[in-house]
């Protein structure tokens, strides 16, 4: 069923390994999840989840699971306790090594696996910009950012070249998980190999080069950038990196720690006959082969920009100013009555919708923003109605009124059902075994369900 031209090229690339590579397509694919440390410690989450299997060796908090576990149907999934992610796809963020307080860009971010992994490492500190060029995919990205309780992220919908004009030299780290021909996903996605062609591979390589060019402009001196794909095609992997380094002498490849069956990239994949290998550092890139490890095909390279950071850098329009607190008195009253703790930052409004963004948030002027920091809720004329995103960002101890459900009760809540309860009337943070799920409002012994209708199961 695999394209003949693809198989012919892979046989030439792999030689004696080709049969083992081909056999990997007859084996079940590996499935994994990654614990969200914004919700809980690894030890406690692992104990509560119960179906975490062998650790993914290259990802902190990554675990393999069995197909029969079906973690996507568990209430913990809706609570953002973990993110279901292909195991090899966890490797690029580990190589990027994000830190709290940094400015980080995930340039091709949907559906959000790598963005949420970056946010996990940032611990709510600094600014994370997640960009996706396709509007529908950007909406999916925003939903996953919300589900994982992330408070310091912007979700944008722009061409990379447009962002490069706004954020020159701005970011400490950039992830370019480039759109590609998807050869590494053939076992996972039949549509990928149905759409494959040698022409598409070359088209992808050209697009990847353009994306990297924009990313290079946005990285500060001394900053780090990871380029990754889920394809085996040398034209999109070693070839793109080799071409980039020739055009950008201010960049150099850095070593990535190999683990779990990873192998170095291969210079010979882009060497012309009778010529010296065009890039002798390509062995610092990394390939993940499905016949060598428990995951799909992946490629990644860690690049460093020469120089040292000198002084503060700003986006083209400076820092977002925000609005004064007096313009959101309804929120202030709600916060004082119901919340012990809320994120710090600046308030901004889109119509009657109130958000809070990090103090370091760049100006939003001229940007197509699908999500700005944390959505707090709606400013009504005489009251405040909290947003679902606010609930998912909170822990039980952050709310004065909290109601904990068991697993069966959580399933019913996620279906939109009300339930009987006793206690002080007002807004309650509803959770499942200590993880927030959404809001409910208690009156007359009945907890009205405020789980969004569009998310109900």
CA-to-CA distance for 213 and 168, rounded, in angstroms?
Answer: 12
Q: How, if at all, do strands 298-305 and 219-229 pair?
A: antiparallel
Which residue, 366, 342, 365, is CA-closest to 354?
342
Which residue, 268, 247, 265, is CA-closest to 256?
265
230 given a catalytic annotation: yes
Contact present, 122 and 93 (Cβ < 8 Å): no
Q: Which position among 52, 180, 230, 279 bears the catalytic label? A: 230
Opening angle at CA 428, ends 424 and 434, nearest 5: 120
- Which stretch of DSSP H or E encloses residue 127? strand 127-131
> What is the chain's alpha carbon radius of gyration, rounded to the nearest angstrom?
23
Two structure tokens written together for 96 = 């990027």
CA-to-CA distance for 253 and 300, rounded, in angstroms?
Answer: 11
Q: What is the 3-state secondary structure (H, E, C) of 295-323?
A: CCCEEEEEEEECCCCCCCCCCCCCECCCE
CA-to-CA distance for 63 and 117, rounded, in angstroms?
Answer: 14
CA-to-CA distance for 207 and 200, rounded, in angstroms?
Answer: 10
> Which long-range contacts does 440-449 make (Cβ < 8 Å, 24+ apart)?
440/403, 440/413, 442/401, 442/403, 445/420, 445/421, 446/418, 446/419, 446/420, 446/421, 447/403, 447/418, 447/419, 447/420, 447/421, 448/418, 449/413, 449/416, 449/417, 449/418, 449/419
Q: Return phi, psi of residue 333, to 5°.
A: -65, -45
CA-to-CA distance for 130 and 144, rounded, in angstroms?
Answer: 11
Contact present, 117 and 225 (Cβ < 8 Å): no
CA-to-CA distance for 201 and 184, rounded, in angstroms?
Answer: 13
The residues that are catalytic are 230
């Amino acid at each position: 069923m695999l394209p003949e031209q693809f198989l012919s090229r892979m046989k030439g690339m792999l030689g004696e390994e080709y049969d083992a590579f081909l056999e990997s397509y007859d084996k079940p694919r590996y499935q994994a999840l990654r614990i969200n440390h914004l919700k809980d410690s690894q030890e406690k989450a692992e104990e509560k989840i119960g179906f975490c299997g062998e650790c993914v060796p290259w990802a902190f908090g990554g675990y393999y699971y069995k197909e029969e576990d079906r973690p996507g149907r568990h209430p913990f999934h809706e609570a953002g306790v973990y993110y279901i992610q292909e195991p090899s796809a966890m490797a690029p963020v580990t190589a990027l090594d994000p830190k709290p307080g940094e400015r980080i860009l995930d340039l091709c971010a949907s559906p959000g696996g790598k963005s949420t992994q970056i946010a996990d490492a940032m611990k709510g500190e600094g600014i994370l910009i997640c960009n996706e060029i396709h509007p529908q995919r950007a909406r999916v990205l925003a939903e996953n950012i919300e589900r994982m309780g992330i408070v310091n992220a912007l979700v944008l919908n722009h061409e990379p070249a447009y962002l490069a004009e706004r954020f020159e030299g701005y970011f400490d780290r950039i992830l370019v998980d480039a759109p590609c021909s998807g050869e590494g996903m053939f076992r996972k996605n039949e549509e990928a190999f149905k759409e494959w062609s040698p022409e598409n591979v070359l088209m992808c390589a050209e697009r990847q080069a353009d994306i990297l060019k924009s990313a290079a402009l946005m990285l500060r001196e001394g900053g780090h950038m990871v380029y990754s794909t889920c394809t085996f095609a040398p034209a999109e992997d070693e070839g793109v990196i080799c071409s980039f380094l020739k055009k950008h002498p201010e960049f150099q490849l850095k070593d990535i720690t190999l683990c779990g069956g990873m192998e170095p990239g291969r210079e010979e994949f882009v060497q012309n006959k009778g010529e010296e290998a065009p890039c002798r550092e390509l062995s610092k890139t990394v390939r993940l082969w499905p016949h060598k490890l428990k995951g799909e095909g992946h490629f990644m390279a860690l690049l460093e920009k020469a120089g040292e950071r000198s002084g503060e850098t700003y986006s083209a329009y400076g820092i977002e100013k925000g609005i004064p607190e007096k313009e959101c008195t309804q929120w202030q009253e709600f916060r004082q009555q119901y919340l012990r703790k809320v994120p710090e930052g600046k308030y901004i409004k889109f119509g009657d919708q109130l958000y809070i963004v990090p103090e370091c948030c760049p100006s939003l002027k001229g940007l197509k923003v699908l999500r700005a920091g944390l959505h707090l809720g709606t400013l009504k004329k005489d009251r405040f109605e909290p947003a679902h995103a606010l609930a998912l960002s909170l822990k039980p101890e952050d709310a004065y009124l909290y109601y904990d459900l068991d697993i069966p009760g959580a399933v019913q809540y996620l279906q939109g059902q009300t339930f009987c309860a006793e206690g002080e009337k007002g807004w309650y943070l509803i959770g499942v075994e200590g993880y927030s799920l959404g809001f409910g409002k208690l009156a007359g012994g009945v907890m009205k369900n405020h789980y969004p209708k569009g998310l109900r199961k």
